[in-house]
Amino acid sequence: LLHWLLWLVAISGVLMLMVSRGHYTIDVIIAYFVTTRLWFMHNAIIANRHFQQRSSTNHLGRLWWWRLAIWFEENVKGPVPAQFEFPNPWNFSFNSVTSKSRTRDPARDI
């Protein structure tokens, strides 16, 4: 349900942008093409272990931002579960911040 709702919002946003005449139609089409291709390439790199290693058969490894994508995802050991939480800013306590203190290391003083 959320997937279809987000598609509907994205398509209506593109249509409203074109109806408002704020952009030319070709601008919107090119932006959609570039954005979706970058998203698909990034997710292909992240989801497939073969694309995370340099080899002669890995054509995505030739992208200029390939190393950056691998660096962002290097600590992720497996699939991330699809669990969502709504943040509750009123449940924040300062005790968790103030109770943690660091001991002074004289060797690191300047």
Q: For 78-107, how does the pLDDT look when each residue is reduced to its tens digit (9 = 90+)?
A: 777 777 777 776 665 555 545 455 565 566
Q: Which residue has the tokens 């924040």?
A: 92
> What is the pLDDT, as a whole number, of residue 101?
53
Task: State the SS3 of 21-69.
Answer: CCCCHHHHHHHHHHHHHHHHHHHHHHHCHHHHCCCCCCHHHHCCCHHHH
Nearest to 14, CA basis, from 36, 41, 44, 40: 36
Regarding pTM above 0.75, the answer is: no
- pLDDT at residue 110 is higher than 70: no
Q: Is the pLDDT of residue 1 over 60?
A: yes
Tell me the pLDDT band of 8, cut-offs 50, 70 and 90. very high
Instruction: Please report how many Cα atoms fall inside a 13 Å half-sphere around the Cα of residue 58, on the Cβ side.
Output: 17
